Amino acid sequence: MPEKNKLKSIVVFENEPVRRVWDEKEEKWYFSVVDVVGILTGSINPGAYWRKLKERLKKEGNESVTKCHSLKLLAKDGKMRLFDMADAETLFRLIQSIPSSKAEPFKLWLAKVGFERLKETADPEIAVNRARENWQALGHSAKWIEQRLRGQEIRNKLTDYWASHQVSQEEEFSKLTNIIHKEWSGVSVSRHKEIKNLKGHNLRDHMTESELVFTALAELSTRQVAEKDLASGYKENSAAAHTGGSFAGKTRQDFENLTGKKVVSGENFLPPKQENKKLK
């Protein structure tokens, strides 16, 4: 893949960033394989995991490895380094070789972001309309959808700030997100998913309107604190995350005292379980 004629961007799966690059000549997205491996395996060293997997696949004659391209991306140490990149079709094949409970939801997510056209990135309205249609198909109300979209816009602005201010586009995004979430809600992201009985699902797609509102408030406050303090790097952005999330947390407590209702809810939008009926 040539270095020219490319556009880099970040997409997020369950609060985990995945770096991707648009190849203008081939008109397709290429994704960082290491980012995907890290999400699926939870490995503290996804690079080493991928190197071992790649070696094994080569010995097995798996052609997916040969379809990966190398491209320079910003590494954790702040330097530009070569990373293996793969298009969506190749990733689907590679995922088959990685045992993971997240494989199926990740493939559903990849089916959406892996084949979207460049014009959806250039024209946000197209992507917004597509997301709206998907949520409508799942039975969400128009009011919920608008709140979800506003929250996503706020989230994107925050991650854009992190990406441009020396925050690692891998585990540090997840750590900062969890700090904000725990400050405003009183529970971690993983605990919140347990409360809602979610496994491999996007937490935000199962939030109530109130949960979406306070998530957005926490992330908006965090970004504005970071911008005010010119936060750079994980440590400074972590401080902003605590401050912004804490502000939203205090507001949540006031809201709960006013309404008498807890914001963090076990409600979800999972389809009802089908009970087995005995034939009579």
Give kind and range of the element (H or E) at residue 11.
strand 6-13
Amino acid, res. 21: V
Q: Which residue has the higher pLDDT, 131 or 203?
A: 203
Q: What is the pLDDT of residue 73?
A: 80
Q: Is the pLDDT of residue 193 over 70?
A: yes
| Contact between residue 18 and residue 12 where contact means Cβ atoms under 8 Å apart | yes
At residue 1 the predicted structure's pLDDT band, cuts being 50, 70 and 90, is low
Q: 50 vs 89, 148, 197, 215, 263, CA distance in Å? A: 18, 34, 31, 34, 40
pLDDT higher at 86 or 11: 86
Q: Phi first, then psi: what are they for 267, rounded to 5°?
A: -65, 140
| Rounded Cα–Cα distance for residues 68 and 37 (Å) | 14
Which of 96, 86, 73 lies closest to 3 in space, CA to CA? Answer: 73
Digit-coded pLDDT (tens) for 245-280: 999 999 999 999 999 999 999 998 877 654 433 333
Higher pLDDT, 140 or 53: 53
Domain boundaries, given as residue ranges, for the chain: 6-119, 127-259
Q: Is pLDDT above 90 for 8?
A: no
User: Scanning the structure block, which residue is given the tokens 């004629």?
Assistant: 5
Query: What does the pLDDT look like over 63-79, one tens digit per residue?
Result: 888 888 888 887 766 67
pLDDT tens-place string over residues 214-249: 999 999 999 999 999 999 999 999 999 999 999 999
pTM of the model: 0.59
